[in-house]
Structure 1
Amino acid sequence: MAAYDKADLERRMAGAVEALKHDLGGLRTGRASTVLLDPITVEVYGAAMPLNQVATISAPEPRMLSVQVWDKSNVGPVDKAIRSAGLGLNPIADGQTLRLPIPDLTEERRKELAKLAGQYAEKARVAARNVRRDGMDSLKTDEKKGLFGEDERKRHETEVQKLTDSTIGDIDAVTQAKEKEILGQ
């Protein structure tokens, strides 16, 4: 484990918040956005690949997404991946192109999207906690190596915990704002 590096921990925690913002950006409130399909992975060539590595995604209309699959043999797996992604989208196949009409947001759909936002937030919280654990582990290792004493380790642990609490607060704030937007409040 590398020596304790507060700047690296801050960068990684900020990365967790940015990843969450990116994921939440895909949860559109009734408008088509190519970001909506970013989390989808497709089982092709014996591996799970991001959708954007097997197809071109575009938004030709405000309420329609178009997925142009590069390899004809991958149309079925891409269709299946989109249907099973929990986004409520039903692709319409047209040769190697899948058209995805974006449905109106019903109350039920809004609740599903808010729930999905909560799942993204939990993923970000777990990432922040993993960064915290790495930081705490490196502090203990550094103390054993004699780089600093117990008092300094405890002071640094307090810093790491404050950083974690602040990051989780940011994650919660971003998520609450997105849930309000989704639920139309």
Structure 2
Amino acid sequence: MIRAVYFFVAFFSFVLMSCQAEKSSGKYPVTVGNIEFDEKLDDPTFRKCYPEKQIDVQYYQGTKEFDYKGEKIAIIEKLTNEKISSESKINGYITVRFLVNCEGKTGLFRIQQMNADLKEAVLDKELGDKLLRFTKSLDGWIPKEIKGLKIGYYQYLTYKIENGKVSEVLP
């Protein structure tokens, strides 16, 4: 009888704590999460390496910032040569998040725009489209390897926009 009472107290305590944890997570989840395939946005020929195992790592999971041939400077040089800008004198951030598979190919691109106060807003659709096309054109991504297994990983590039021009590439 006493064991049953302890079991029920422990069980209900666990349920209560789980509910409280779920309530407190609110708007910002613990992880960014995976990008799900969307037939309206995504290339149907792009393949994840191990889709059944969900082993693609996030960019914040102890991985190097840039696994790109020539590192970040190569991306900045290519961007400078493209001369991408907006006629509007806007300020803010445009982030493109995507998956690099175990072959170094990219897909599942998603874009988010924020104003200078970091509030979600459409700064300039045309500029966003140009930066998305530019990001898709980058073909020097290097596959990651963990314990001899090549894996996919999520990557992002955030373009800081000042007076309609890209002033910085983050991270």
| TM exceeding 0.5 | no
* TM-score (ref. length: structure 1): 0.21
* TM-score (ref. length: structure 2): 0.22
More strand by share: 2
More helix by share: 1
